[in-house]
Amino acid sequence: MSDLGLRGTQVHCRLHIIFSARGQKVSKTTKRKCAFMSFLTTLGVGVVVVAVLLGIYVNFPPPQLSPQLQQWKDRGEYHSFKGHQIFYIDERGDAKSKEVLLMMHGYPTMSYDFSKMWKDLKGEFGRLIVLDFLGFGFSDKPAGHNYSVMEQADIAEHLMGHLGIDTVHILAHDLGDTYAQEVLSRYEDRLRDGQDGGLEIESVCLMNGGMFPETNHPTPNMKLMLKPYLKYPIGMFSNRFMFKRGLSSVFGPNTQPTPEDLSDFWAATRYNEGNFALPRLIDYILERAANKDRWTGALQNTRLPIHVIYGPADPINPPPFIDFYKKTVPRGSITVLGKDISHYPLWEDPQGVFAAYKQFIDKVRDEM
């Protein structure tokens, strides 16, 4: 629309307002032009508001790490994988045993999830290792990266090789369960093919993860992030209020994280601009469906001890999971925690999880 035409429309709209006030009739053409002008004005104001808010958000500094989160970071080191820096903690345990425990965290959090159990676990193992997978926590979060379960399994195996570790027990949660299933699948492939080398596994314990697509129910926000055209906008407009609300929804009603907990989780997510990585990391849901036979088959066919520690108030993996797991993995065992424990049992009930895990690992040792 030319400047002359725009001015003409504005004059018509002013006349429309005057005539309407006097009760005089106005042509339909003038009404349409005025409605269009009103739409353009509203749209323009909206664009300006969004641009201002976006500018504030993009330039708003990420939150500072709390003292406890900074201490966790200070305990770790970095390992280079294909040019990416992977954060990990490698500590000697208090046990005389030489057994190594490898822990795998879930989505959207990090290695810090295991902090509440760390002291107890140190009493059971000779060495504890936990890492932030690529895109999480204190590890690199490359923009535009195509994150995959296969690559994350590569990272775990590469780190173990770097540290000179050839045998581990695995304790995993949520998305970490899927990483563990792929590492287990590779172990089973080597056994089947008679290949030497590679990471040996002594036991696998999983917590509240989408081991089976049939019993996994992603949240509405997770489903939105699966849509390619929404990934960037969601990442761009992610904020602590949305994050905290979403994370709190998968905790039990009586085991909610504290405001300080939520601030720590968000600070770790925002570290290295991780809010942009979250929508790209979510494609693991699609990978689970594509690799269902492989990853379910690994649990079914392995002769290794398999155990699940499960919080039954989980909205993502609700209680029908229990019977499905027992039917699908008849050799596996399961501990069902208290009725109020939900998707984050290692944070909601660390003592209960440790007690269940110790009972499992003691049985594994007795049968070795």
d(CA 267, CA 348): 20
On whether the CB atoms of residues 353 and 172 are closer than 8 A, the answer is: no
In this predicted structure, what is the pLDDT of residue 46? 61
User: Rounded to the nearest 10 degrees, what angle do helices 149-162 and 175-193 cross at?
Assistant: 70
Q: Is pLDDT at 57 greater than 60 in this prediction?
A: no
CA distances from 191 to 185, 203, 273, 275, 303 (A): 10, 15, 41, 39, 11
Indicate the pLDDT class of residue 60, thresholds 50, 70 and 90. low
> Tokens 């299933």 correspond to what residue?
181
d(CA 20, CA 206): 70
Per-residue model confidence as pLDDT tens digits over 151-196: 999 999 999 999 999 999 999 999 999 999 999 999 999 999 999 8
| pTM across the whole model | 0.85
Per-residue model confidence as pLDDT tens digits over 299-350: 999 999 999 999 999 999 999 999 999 999 999 999 999 999 999 999 999 9
On whether the CB atoms of residues 228 and 235 are closer than 8 A, the answer is: no
Round the CA-based radius of gyration of the chain to a whole number and report it. Answer: 26
Indicate the pLDDT class of residue 357, thresholds 50, 70 and 90. very high
The SS3 assignment for 168 reads: strand
Amino acid 127 reads R
The domains of the chain, with CATH numbers, are: 3-59 (no CATH), 67-367 (3.40.50.1820)
The SS3 assignment for 276 reads: helix
d(CA 207, CA 344): 8
| Strands 127-131 and 84-92, sheet pairing | antiparallel
CA distances from 78 to 64, 68, 157 (A): 20, 19, 15
